Amino acid sequence: MLDTPPIDIVRTQSLTSLVQREVERLILTGELAPGERINEQHLAARLRVSRGPVREALRGLEKARLVEAKVNRGVYVRELSVEQALEISEMRGLLTGYACARLAASSTAEQRARLAQLIETMAAAIAAGDAPAYYEHNLAFHDALMDYAGNARAKEMYDALVKESHLSRRKSLFSARAMAESNAEHRVILDAIRKGDATAAREAGERHIVGGRRRFLDAIGMAEMRPG
């Protein structure tokens, strides 16, 4: 029997990668909700592919901790427990503080201007009562912090944590009060970066994530589990 031609392997891998990115998008946007069973056949029909690439994509997403396979039951979008969400938040806090400290020591005027622009865009979203827009620009702000910090390994770790946190985090930024508090913390971070104060920037970054944990717990009615 002849081996599979290399071009067919490349095509299969490319298709699986495309399918995985699309399913990941469906999960991260909430179209596939936490706890929802993923029907391989329906998903394959929707994406106009065979079930093979879908199955391989789901294996990749299981490794990324976005889905979980349950024996004799199928594959489900992963649900985070409160404890798991708080563990992820704690690690995000450490990485965010690290990135903020790095930026305080080495940011450029262009980078600071971009961060300021994102803060003002979020302020406009708050004024308009547009929580989804705020959420997306909030992600962009934190992505920028990690990108500008210039540590590819830290960014990779952060991105993996953020993808997991999407499974529970949106609900913590729906209220006007929560968005306003969050953006005020962004301003404190940027102020410390502008002043070149690495210690203050690190502390502001970590406090911001702690604030996010509190807002998350408030949103789900579990204020008694607040840290501190």
Of 95-99, 165-169, 170-174, 206-210, where does mean pLDDT reach its minimum? 170-174
Who contacts 182 (Cβ-Cβ below 8 Å, separation ≥6)?
A: 122, 138, 173, 208, 211, 212, 215
Q: What is the mean pLDDT of residues 164-183?
A: 78
Judge whether 71 and 188 are in contact, CB under 8 Å.
no
Of the ranges 18-27, 120-129, 215-224, which is most confident? 120-129
d(Cα 137, Cα 208) in Å, to the nearest integer?
16
Which alpha helices (H) appear in the chain, and where do they start and end?
6-28, 40-47, 51-63, 82-106, 109-128, 131-149, 152-169, 176-195, 198-219
pTM: predicted TM-score of the whole model, two decimal places = 0.77
Is the per-residue pLDDT at 5 higher than 60? no
Provide the 3-class DSSP secondary structure of residue 4.
Answer: coil
pLDDT in tens, 178-215: 999 999 999 999 999 999 999 999 999 999 999 998 98
Contact 136, 228 (CB under 8 A): no
pLDDT digits (tens, 9 = 90+) for 13-69: 588 889 999 998 898 877 888 889 999 999 999 999 999 999 999 999 999 889 999
DSSP 173: G
pLDDT band at 169 (very low <50, low <70, confident <90, very high): low
